[in-house]
Amino acid sequence: MLKRSFLFMLAPIASLVLLGCASTATKLDAQWVNPQHAGKRSVRNVMVMSALRDSTNRRIFEDRMVAALEAAGVKAVQSYKFLPEEGPVSEDKMRGVLREAGVGHAMVTRIINVSTQVNVSPGMVMGPAWGPGWGWGGGWGPGWGGFAGYHNAMWATSIPPQVTTTQNVHSDTRVFDAADAAVLWSAATTTSTGYNAVSQLIDQFVQLIVSTMAKDGVI
């Protein structure tokens, strides 16, 4: 009785833990630092650029990345202030935008691909709360025993399996020198959408990128 009651309480708790794990946002898959710039904190002023088709998310991302960089002591500006339109940009126009903004570097984040992960949490079935002999003795007779077993099975605790779908967004972030387009730093990341809001995902992504750049001595 006690064991079954304990399992009944434990099952939903375990489900919540699994849901919490599924909502883990961004992880760093790989990063690279140009040996000529490692530890030199070369990036002091930068334009933040995001190749996102959704203009609202693009602006939210660039705003929060700029804020995080400035909090780390780096002068930063959003690309949408100079390139309000979405879509490809010619090399000449890109050079002109960076020159107009007066920045020495450009940070470009783009989505490489999106994959889907299916997570299955197995269900649980616990038997009835009565003891195994209920209804089989005490003068009830074998017929009543069969009925009692069938009736009690209706009260079994059943927790169905849970199936959730997580989208994994694979991104690439690179920091370029505005003078010669050389890459100073790059990182590959995977963001699991889980149950987090877009704003939370962006905040976690931004904090991971900025803290990693600081550890690598780029900023």
Q: What is the mean pLDDT of residues 50-58?
A: 89
Examine the pLDDT at 21 and tell me if it is beyond 80.
no
Which pair of tokens denotes residue 30?
């790989």
Highest mean pLDDT among 13-27, 108-122, 129-143: 108-122
The confidence score (pLDDT) of residue 198 equals 82
With bands split at pLDDT 50, 70 and 90, how would you rate the model's confidence at 26? very high
- Global pTM reads 0.70
pLDDT of residue 3: 45
What gap in Å lies between CA 76 and CA 30, rounded to an integer? 24
Which residue in 161, 123, 166 sits closest to 22, CA to CA? Answer: 166
pLDDT for 33 equals 96
Round the average pLDDT of the chain to a whole number and report it.
80
Residue 113 CA from chain centroid, whole number: 14
Q: Which residues contact 48 (CB under 8 A, 6 or more apart)?
A: 62, 65, 66, 69, 76, 77, 78, 79, 107, 109
Provide the pLDDT for residue 24.
53
Look at residues 173, 201, 205 and name the one whose alpha carbon lies nearest to residue 186.
Answer: 173
Share of the chain above pLDDT 90, in %: 53
pLDDT of residue 5: 44
The residue that leads in pLDDT, 138 or 163, is: 163
23-27, 74-78, 105-109, 212-216 — which is least confidently predicted?
23-27
Q: How far apart are CA 49 and CA 78, in angstroms?
A: 7
CA distance 49 to 62: 7
